Chains A and B, each alone.
Chain A
Amino acid sequence: MEQFLTAVFAGTASGSIYALVALGLVLVWRGAGVINFAQMGQAMFSTYVASTLIMNGYSYWIAFFVALAVGTALGTAIDLLVMRPLSGKRGSAILASPAMRATVPVIASLGILGILQSAAGMIWAAEERGFPAPVSTLGLSFGGEIMPFTAFDLFVIGIVLVTLIITTIFFQKTGMGLAMRASALNPEVARLSGIRTSSVRTLSWAISGAASSLAGLLVTPSANLSPNTLDLILIIGFTATVIGGLDSLPGGVIGGFILGLVISFVNVYSSPSDIFLAILALLLIVLLVRPQGILGSKEVRRV
C-alpha cells in the first residue's frame, strides 16, 4: 500500500511538470503550427542562468524570475529570428506542400536545440551541477510518521496548478487570449477581423518559453543539470501532448498527468530501464486506437 501511495504522489508531482511541458508544446503547435523540439533546450539554458545566479549568492526567487524572463526572451527570439523568416519562405519549392511546411520547422527547431546545447556546453563547461529546491525534498512527517510525499512535491503541484489556472483565465477571459484562440482556429479569418496574427504567434512562443523554463526549474532539483538532461523530459512531454491531443490544452495537461503516473508506476513496480518501452507502448496504443488523442479534434481535410 505504501509503495502504491508513493507511486501515486511521485507520479502526480512529476506529471504536473510533464503537463507544463505539454502546455508549452501545445501553445506553439496551436499558435504557430510548429512542434518545438528545442523547447527543453530553452528550459535547460534558462535553468543554467538561474543556477549561475544562485551560485553567485543571489536568492532562489530572484534566480527563479530571471529564468522565467530568459525563457520568455528565448521563445520570442526563436520566433523572430528563425520561425518568422521561415514562414515567409512559402514561395520556395521545398516549402510548397503542407507536408513539408510541417516538417521543415521541426528540422529548424532541432538546429536551435543543437545550438543551445553546445552554447551551454561552451559557457558552463558541461559540468553536471545540482539545482536547489526552494523547500525540502525529504518526506514530510506528521506526528512522527513519514508521509509518502515531500514538501517539494506539494510546491510543484501547487505552482503548476496556479499556472494552469492563470493560463485558463488568460485564454477564456482576456481579449489577447481570445485573439490567440481565434488565430489558432483560423488564421485567415482572424487576420481579416483585424488581429495581428504575427504578433499573436510571437506571443505563443513567448508564453511557451516561460512555461518550459518553469518546467526546467521544477524538474532539475530531482535530476542533475547538464546540456542534455532535459531531452528525456521533452520526449515525455511530447508523448503527453500526443496522448491528450496535439491541439488541445486540457488534453496536453491530462496527458502529462497520465504519463507521470505511468512512469512512476513502472519505476516503482518494474525498473527505470523499462520507462521507454512503457512510453512507446502507450504512444502506439493511443495512435492506433485514437490517433487524434483523448481530447484532440479530428483533422478536417480540405481540398
Chain B
Amino acid sequence: MFKHLQTGNALKTVIFFTIIFYLGKILDPYNQGQLSVVLMYFVGILSITFLTGLSGQISLGQGALMAVGGYTCALVVLNLGLNYWQSIIIAVLASLVAGWILGITAARLSGPYLAGTTLVIALAIPSLANRFESVFGGDVGLSVDFGNPPEWLSSAVGEIGYEQWQLFATLPFASIALYLALNLFKSRTGRSWRAVRDHEIAASLTGVNVQRIKIFTFVVASGFAGLAGALYGLRGIVGPSVYPISLSLALLTGAVLGGLRSIGGAFIGAVLVVFLPDLIEAISGSWELAPQISNYLPAMVAGILLILTVVLNPAGVAGGLHHHKSRHK
C-alpha cells in the first residue's frame, strides 16, 4: 500500500503542522476552538473525499461512523481506564471494523440506495443510545475528560488555555491523517478506486477486484470518520446530539464546496463550513435583521452555495484553482 512514502508528502505535513501550531499561538480562544473544529471536520471530510470523490460512493451517514469512534473512545476511557490517546487508537480500530461490516453490506448498493441506507443508519444512532441507555448514556451521552496539557508542552509554549489545548491535542492526529491521505491518494489503491469510480466493468477487466476495493474504501473512509468522531469527543461529551444527522450533511457540504477530489479541497471545505456562520454574522451584523432571518441565514447560504457549486463548478473551490493553474501553464 505504501511502497513509496514520498518525502514531499512529509514536507507538506510538517508545513501544515507548523502553520496550524503557529495560528494556535496567536489566535484568540474562540478562534482556537473553531480551528480545532476545522481540524476535526477536515479529517471527517477526508473520509468523504475517499468514499465519494475517489470511489464514487455516497454516504449521508458518516456521522454514524464518527459516533462509533467517539463512543468507543469514551467507553474505553470510562471502563478500561486507558487514557484518551490510547483510546483513540482503539476507537480507530473499532471504526475500521464497523466500516468493514458496513462495506460488506454497502458494496452491493450503489448511488441512491447507499445514500438512503447510510442516512437511515445515521438516524438510528440516537435510538441505539436510548435502547442501551446504561451503556451509551441515552440522550445525555457520556462525558469524557481528556486530561491536562503535559508539563513539557506548557513549559515550551507558556500557559495553555482550554481551547488551545483542544487544538494542540487535535493537531497531531489531523497531521497523521493528512500524511496518510496524501500517500493513499497517489498509491496503487487510490488509482484502483478511481478506476472503479470511472468504469466499474473496465476496472474489473483490468484485474481490479471491484467488490474488494469497494469494501476497502469503506474501511479506510470509516477509519478517518472514526478518528474525526473520537477527536470531536475532545470537546468533553459524546452523545447523540454530538453526532446529529446535520453533522453528516455539513461534512458532505464541506466536501462538495471545497472540492470532492482533493485533499486541499477537504481542508478548504472544512474552513468554509466552520467559519461560514461567523462570516455571515460579521457581514450581516450591521443590517439589524430579525432573529428569525439571521438564525436561518447560514443554512440558506450553505444551501445556495451547494447548488451553485454543483451546477456551475462541480469540482469545487480546489478544482477551480487547479483548473485556473493548468490553463496558464
Q: Which residues of A contact B (CB under 8 A)?
A: 29, 35, 37, 82, 85-86, 89, 92-97, 99-100, 102-104, 106-108, 110-115, 117-119, 121-122, 125-126, 235, 238-239, 242, 246, 273-277, 279-280, 283-284, 287-288, 291, 301, 303
Contact yes or no, B56 A100, CB < 8 A: yes
| Nearest 5 interchain pairs by C-beta | A102-B111, A99-B56, A114-B303, A111-B306, A35-B112
Asked whether A287 lies within 8 Å of B113 as measured between CB atoms, the reply is yes
Please pick, from B109, B198, B296, B319, the residue contacting A118 in the complex, using a CB distance under 8 A. B296
Residue of A nearest to B298 (CB): A118
Residues of B within 8 A of A122 (CB): 292-293, 296-297, 300
Complex partner residue of A86 from B110, B116, B120, B310, CB under 8 angstroms: B310
State whether A86 touches B56 (Cβ < 8 A).
no
| Residues of chain A lying within 8 A (CB to CB) of residue B314 | 89, 92, 94-95, 104
Q: Which of B58, B116, B297 contacts A238 (CB 8 A)?
A: B116
Chain A residue nearest in CB terms to B315: A94
In the complex, which residues of chain B have a beta carbon less than 8 angstroms from the beta carbon of A291? Answer: 108-109, 113
B13 at the interface (CB under 8 A from A): no
Instruction: Establish whether residues A110 and B111, one from each chain, have CB atoms under 8 Å apart when the complex forms.
Output: no
> With a CB–CB cut-off of 8 A, which chain B residues contact A96?
198
Contact, CB under 8 Å: B105 / A287: yes
Measured CB to CB, the nearest residue on chain B to A275 is B127
Interface pair A274/B127, CB less than 8 Å apart: yes
Q: How far is A35 from B118 in the complex, measured between Cα atoms in Å?
A: 14
Contact B296 A276 (CB under 8 A): no
Within the complex, what minimum Cβ distance (angstroms) separates B313 from chain A? 9
Q: Does B18 sit at the interface, judged by CB under 8 A?
A: no
CA distance A303 to B203 in the complex (A): 11
Min CB distance B11 to A, Å, is 28
Q: How far is the CA of A291 from the CA of B109 in the complex (A)?
A: 8
- What 0/1 readout, one digit per residue, does chain B (247-268) give for beta carbons within 8 Å of chain A? 0010011001000110000000
Task: With CB as the reference atom, state the residue of chain B lying closest to A38.
Answer: B303
The answer to whether B261 touches A242 (Cβ under 8 A) is no
Q: Is B307 in contact with A99, judged by CB distance below 8 angstroms? A: no
Q: Does B130 contact A (CB under 8 A)?
A: yes
Are A106 and B311 in contact, with the CB atoms below 8 A? no
Q: How far is the CB of B280 from chain A (nearest CB, A)?
A: 12
List 30 A-B residue pairs with CB atoms under 8 Å apart, sorted by A's residue number: A29-B112, A89-B314, A92-B315, A94-B315, A95-B314, A97-B56, A99-B200, A100-B56, A102-B58, A102-B112, A103-B57, A104-B310, A107-B252, A108-B310, A110-B306, A112-B303, A112-B307, A114-B306, A118-B296, A119-B300, A121-B292, A121-B299, A238-B116, A273-B131, A276-B123, A277-B124, A279-B120, A280-B120, A287-B108, A291-B108
In the assembled complex, the Cα of A279 lies from the Cα of B115 at a distance in Å of 15
Q: A107-B310, A284-B117 are in contact. List 20 more A-B contacts (CB 8 A).
A: A35-B115, A85-B311, A94-B261, A95-B314, A97-B56, A99-B197, A100-B56, A102-B111, A108-B306, A108-B310, A110-B252, A118-B297, A118-B299, A246-B112, A273-B127, A274-B131, A275-B127, A276-B126, A277-B128, A283-B120
- The minimal Cβ–Cβ distance linking B91 to chain A, given in whole angstroms, is 22
B111 touches A106 (CB 8 A): yes
Is B302 an interface residue when CB atoms closer than 8 A count as contact? yes
B49 within 8 A of A: no
> For A82, what are the chain B residues with a Cβ–Cβ distance below 8 Å?
307, 311
Smallest beta-carbon distance B51→chain A, Å: 10
> With a CB–CB cut-off of 8 A, which chain B residues contact A246?
112-113
Q: Which residues of B contact A103 (CB under 8 A)?
A: 52, 56-58, 111, 115
| Chain A nearest Cβ from B52, distance in angstroms | 6
User: Is A239's CB under 8 angstroms from B120's CB?
Assistant: yes
Is B119 an interface residue, CB under 8 A from the partner?
yes
Known interface pairs A35-B116, A92-B314, A242-B116; A110-B249 also in contact (CB < 8 Å): yes
Let me know if B304 is at the binding interface, CB within 8 A. yes
Which of B127, B201, B305, B311 meets A303, CB within 8 Å?
A: B201
A288 to B56, CA, bound (A): 21
Rounded to whole Å, the gap between the CB of A99 and the closest CB of chain B is 3
Complex-state Cα separation, A82 to B312, whole angstroms:
10
- Looking at the assembled complex, report how far the CB atom of B318 sits from the nearest CB atom of chain A, in whole angstroms: 12
**Contact of B120 with A111 in the complex, beta carbons under 8 Å:** no
Interface string of B186-221 (1 = CB under 8 A from A): 000000000001111110000000000000000000
Q: How far is the CA of A301 from the CA of B124 in the complex (A)?
A: 33
User: With a CB–CB cut-off of 8 A, which chain B residues contact A276?
Assistant: 120, 123-124, 126-127
Which among A103, A115, A275 has the highest number of chain B CB atoms within 10 Å? A103
- Interface pair B295/A121, CB less than 8 Å apart: yes
The CA-CA distance from A118 to B294 in the complex, in Å, is 10
In the complex the two chains form, is B123's CB within 8 Å of A106's CB? no
How far apart are B236's CB and chain A's nearest CB, in angstroms?
A: 26
For A239, the chain B residues whose CB sits under 8 A away are 116, 120
A103 to B114, CA, bound (A): 10
B60 CB contacts on chain A under 8 angstroms: 106, 110
> Out of A108, A115, A119, which one reaches B311, CB within 8 Å?
A108
Contact A280 B306 (CB under 8 A): no
Are B296's CB and A235's CB within 8 A?
Answer: no
Task: Judge if B121 is at the interface, Cβ distance under 8 Å.
Answer: yes
A301: B residues at CB distance < 8 A: 201
A26 CB, min distance to chain B CBs, angstroms: 11
Is A99's CB under 8 angstroms from B111's CB?
yes
Say yes or no: B304 contacts A115, CB within 8 Å.
Answer: yes
Please give me the residue from chain A that is nearest to B294 by CB atom.
A122
Residue among B58, B202, B292, B303 facing the most chain A CB atoms (10 A cut-off): B303
Nearest Cβ on chain B to A49's Cβ, whole angstroms: 17
A102, A113, A125: the one within 8 Å of B292 (CB): A125
